[in-house]
Amino acid sequence: MSKNKLKKFAELESFKHVIQPTFDELDTNFYLKGKWRSDFFKNSFPITLELGCGKGEYTIELAKEFPQKNFIGIDIKGSRMWTGAKYANENNLKNVAFLRTRVDMICKCFEKNEVDEIWITFPDPQIKRKRVRKRLTHPNFLKKYSHILKPKSKIHLKTDSQFFYGFTLGVIASEGHMLDDATCDLYNSLVKREHLHIKTFYEKMFLKEGKPITYLCFRLNCQD
């Protein structure tokens, strides 16, 4: 492991807004489960998650734009997360947290109905058929989201992958979920929301290459 990565990991340990539970801790009643508002953020604001947040750019920009909401970026890659975490630390963003864990562990991190909204931004499309269950909009993942989301909460997806966009549309249709918005070319569409102008490093790169950005907004029909 490079010295730069080791330095980043050491810094992450020092950031109060970065939570890095072990798998054992998640298996034994994680201390923030059901208590993110009261014990971490110390407010009653809505909670939005960014799944597979990478460098945390979307989490940071949303937090700056919506100070009356709490935002949690989730990713297993600490060296990527460090970028957003360091910015939040240096700029004293009180409504931001970063949770270093796998997305499939999400039900061990949040209580039923604790989350108000989910963002999935430019995930790995996992194109190989044998990795279909790794796709973050696979029905198995949506079932996990349905447990932690409040009823009728929105899930947003932005991706440059037409394949992943089509796969997700198929899942929404086959599972009977409620589609609010869908466009295969966001910036040449009529879909306008106050937060869609935010662009990650990869999104800017894809746009520079001439790739259209797709966007979906949907709600789950079977939240338990």
CATH number of the structural domain spanning residue 170: 3.40.50.150
Domain range for 90: 3-219
Q: Which of 124, 134, 109, 118 is nearest to 33 (CA)?
A: 109
Q: Angle at the Cα of 67 (from 20 to 165), degrees rounded to 5?
A: 70
Question: What does pLDDT average to over the chain?
Answer: 93
Inside any domain, residue 90: yes
Burial code (b: 16+ CB inside 10 Å, e: under 16) for 87-104 equals bbbeeebebbbbbbbebe
Inside any domain, residue 224: no
Inside any domain, residue 150: yes
115-121 sheet: strands from edge to edge: 18-19, 96-100, 70-75, 47-51, 115-121, 149-159, 214-219, 178-183
Pairing of strands 70-75, 96-100: parallel
Inside any domain, residue 190: yes
3-state SS class at 45: coil
Res 3: pLDDT = 61
- At 192-201, the pLDDT tens digits run 776 778 888 8
Residue 223 has pLDDT above 60, yes or no: no
The pLDDT-based confidence of 190 (bands split at 50, 70, 90) is confident
Q: Which of 120, 121, 217, 223 is nearest to 178 (CA)?
A: 217
| For the chain, percent of residues with pLDDT exceeding 90 | 81
- At 18-30, the pLDDT tens digits run 999 999 999 999 9
- How many structural domains comprise the chain? 1
Residue 33 has pLDDT above 60, yes or no: yes
Name the residues annotated as catalytic: 124
